[in-house]
Amino acid sequence: MTSIAILLSGRGSNMVALADRCASGDIDAEIAFVASDKTDAPGLERARHLGLRTVVLPYREKGQATAESLLSDMADDEGIDWIVLAGFMRLLSPAFVNGRRGRIVNIHPSLLPAFPGVNAIGQAWDYGVTVTGVTVHLVDEKMDHGPILAQEALTIKAGEGLDDLEERIHALEHRLYGDTLKRLFRSRLTVEGRRIVFE
Amino acid sequence: MTSIAILLSGRGSNMVALADRCASGDIDAEIAFVASDKTDAPGLERARHLGLRTVVLPYREKGQATAESLLSDMADDEGIDWIVLAGFMRLLSPAFVNGRRGRIVNIHPSLLPAFPGVNAIGQAWDYGVTVTGVTVHLVDEKMDHGPILAQEALTIKAGEGLDDLEERIHALEHRLYGDTLKRLFRSRLTVEGRRIVFE
């Protein structure tokens, strides 16, 4: 079975959605631990309620290098196959990414390369797009930039407000992340330039 | 009836699609003339075959200011309501745009703000997106930047080649541009920030 570690900084709603599908056997993976850079991330509390082991990475106290080194050692010791970012608000260092290239995955609430960075849904809203969506991608050294595993579009409805749009984007994230990881854990990938081919 | 002028630099396939729908009465508009910055644009020849009047704007011989001045005078004299860009490869000057703000429309073969500029389909392909699309927008001073009138997404199929994708994007352009102009010519718009509301 695939072993994964989930990293989050916030509410952890993607983590909860993934944990449900792992627990039911729909996704053939085991969540070894849930880690956060924030001691008080609500997602950590939710993970504990789900019976998952949680880890606080000491970014604030000891800096990025130490925090990443701890994460890397844990991942090695426990045979983690994939590191799954789920609202993790730190950029991983080139050294860390290099050591696990093609083994770190992220989800972003826009159709990348449009609207990278924080508040992507609000950025899209302010730009006035009528189509936005969600992207699941491999992580590289740049923010929200690595090769794309999956995207799905969502059309903004006439008269729809930002709150409703956010809710629909989050629901799409929860579905697409699970669907993509399920497929990913059963496939081999080849990367041609930036294009990913599932075998 | 709405009177429009179409500007093109290339093959004019969007112009032909619009001309068909205007001729059939599906779009309630009349094409007063088709103009190009290029004497040898194939779209001019196609326009003449359709019985449309054509105009060469003397960008090359006399520069942008003179070419735009000629276009502006013609549009004024003939009571043109909308200037419709259809593969026109020149950026209109701020002065020209200011004089007809909210009365110039463009189509672009990507989901803006992703992949502005030339070769948008190839840019998207090289980036490895799995969703791309088409945008119809009002023209402002910046390239491929004005408020968005309509977008439609298109999912790249597994195993699809760039040629097939280009063909599907162009077919989507031809449909979406006509649909959007039809709606535009029957509506009043309000622009709230960058968001357009059809009344």
Do B131 and A133 lie within an 8 Å CB cutoff? yes
| Ordered alpha helix ranges (H), chain B | 13-23, 42-49, 59-77, 94-99, 120-127, 162-185
pLDDT at A199: 81
Average pLDDT over residues B18-43: 97
**How much is the mean pLDDT over chain A?**
96
Hey, is A192 helix, strand or coil?
A: strand
- Which residues have CB under 8 Å from A55's CB, separation 6+? A33, A34, A35, A36, A71, A74
Do A128 and B147 lie within an 8 Å CB cutoff? yes
Q: How confident is the model at residue B160 (pLDDT cuts 50, 70, 90)?
A: very high
pLDDT in tens, A5-39: 999 999 999 999 999 999 999 999 999 999 999 99
Whether residue A55 has pLDDT greater than 90: yes
Interface of chain B against chain A, CB under 8 Å? 111-115, 125-131, 133, 147-148, 150-153, 155, 158, 193-196, 198
> For strand B148-155 and strand A29-36, is the pairing parallel, antiparallel, or unpaired?
unpaired
Q: Say which amino acid occupies B47.
A: A
> For strand A189-192 and strand A148-155, is the pairing parallel, antiparallel, or unpaired?
unpaired
Q: Domain span at residue A113? A: 2-198
Hey, is A102 helix, strand or coil?
A: coil
- Give B20 to chain A, closest Cα distance, Å: 27
User: Half-sphere exposure of residue B194, counting CA atoms within 13 Å on the CB side?
Assistant: 19
Whether residue A119 has pLDDT greater than 90: yes
| Residue A158 main-chain phi, psi, to 5 deg | -60, 130
Residue among A106, A149, A148, A113 at smallest CA distance from A132: A113
pLDDT at B122: 97
Whether residue A198 has pLDDT greater than 90: no
Residue among B39, B55, B59, B140 at smallest CA distance from B99: B140
Whether residue B198 has pLDDT greater than 90: no
B107, B130, B148, B149: best mutation site toward chain A, by most A Cβ within 10 Å? B130
Tell me which of A108, A137, A170, A174 is the catalytic residue: A108
CATH number of the domain bearing residue B116: 3.40.50.170
Nearest-angstrom CA–CA distance, B183 and B175: 12
Average pLDDT over residues B69-76: 97
Average pLDDT over residues B123-129: 96
What is the torsion angle, in degrees rounded to the nearest 10, for the CA atoms of residue B155, residue A135, residue A52 and residue A30?
A: 50
Q: How confident is the model at residue B152 (pLDDT cuts 50, 70, 90)?
A: very high
pLDDT at B61: 96
Q: How many domains does chain B have?
A: 1
Average pLDDT over residues A96-116: 97
Residue among B135, B173, B131, B172 at smallest CA distance from B155: B131
pTM of the model as a whole: 0.94
Residues of chain A with Cβ-Cβ distance to B130 below 8 Å are 148, 150-151
What is the per-residue DSSP string for A124-154? HHHHT-SEEEEEEEE--SSTT-SPEEEEEEE
pLDDT at B77: 97
Residue B3 CB neighbour total at 10 angstroms: 15
Interchain CB contacts (distance < 8 Å): A and B: 73
Do B151 and A128 lie within an 8 Å CB cutoff? no
| Degrees to nearest 5, angle at CA A161 with A42 and B188 | 160
pLDDT at B181: 98
Whether residue B127 has pLDDT greater than 90: yes
pLDDT at B193: 84
Do A153 and B131 lie within an 8 Å CB cutoff? yes
